[in-house]
């Protein structure tokens, strides 16, 4: 195993730990009231982060366990090729799912922000502090 492969595996492991720490930070912030998100949005974020950790784990495990996919791919049997391709297609599919879930979360954030901004503006209008 080359130094580049070892560094890649270390970076993937650190990314998994980073996502895990992000989940913990998000949940603790929600429990302590530092986050202005709903329980459903927190669940969406935890699911998204968990899927991201699964993808990173699949990348790490796939690079160790699966047969070499480099120049020797042509020498693999038909069954081994099917396993390798299915594995990486599943990984890519999960990646697209993470992107979709992140976009859903972004949409929820934008709606919440717009609602809070509208409430703030209407509060200024009621107090008479904001006049045209």
- Give residue 127's pLDDT band: very low, low, confident or very high (50, 70, 90): low
**Residue at 61 is within a domain:** yes
Residues in the chain, overall count: 132
- Cβ neighbors of 120 (< 8 A, separation 6 or more) are none
**Residue at 21 is within a domain:** yes
Burial, 100: exposed, middle or buried (Cβ in 10 Å; 0-12, 13-18, 19+)? exposed
**Residue at 132 is within a domain:** no
pTM of whole model > 0.85? no
As for how many domains the chain has, the answer is 1
Above 60 in pLDDT, residue 131? no
Above 70 in pLDDT, residue 76? yes
Residue pLDDT, tens place only, 12-45: 999 999 999 999 999 999 999 888 888 999 999 9
**Residue at 73 is within a domain:** yes
Q: Which domain holds residue 74?
A: 3-127
Listed range (26-30, 40-44, 77-81, 105-109) with the worst mean pLDDT: 77-81
The predicted pLDDT at position 128 comes to 60
**Residue at 95 is within a domain:** yes
CA–CA distances in Å: residue 85 to residues 33, 53, 99? 45, 20, 21
Q: Mean pLDDT in the chain? A: 87
Distance CA 126, CA 102 (A): 36
């Amino acid at each position: 195993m080359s130094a580049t492969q070892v560094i890649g595996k270390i970076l993937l492991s650190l990314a998994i730990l980073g996502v895990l720490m992000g989940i913990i930070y998000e949940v603790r912030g929600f429990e302590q009231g530092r986050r202005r998100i709903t329980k459903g949005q927190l669940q969406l974020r935890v699911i998204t982060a968990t899927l991201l950790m699964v993808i990173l784990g699949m990348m790490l495990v796939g690079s160790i366990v699966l047969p070499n996919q480099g120049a020797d791919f042509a020498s693999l049997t038909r069954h081994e090729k099917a396993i390798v391709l299915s594995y990486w297609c599943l990984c890519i599919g999960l990646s697209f799912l993470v992107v979709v879930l992140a976009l859903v979360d972004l949409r929820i954030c934008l709606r919440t922000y717009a609602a809070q901004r509208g409430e703030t503006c209407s509060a200024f209008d009621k107090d008479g502090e904001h006049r045209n």
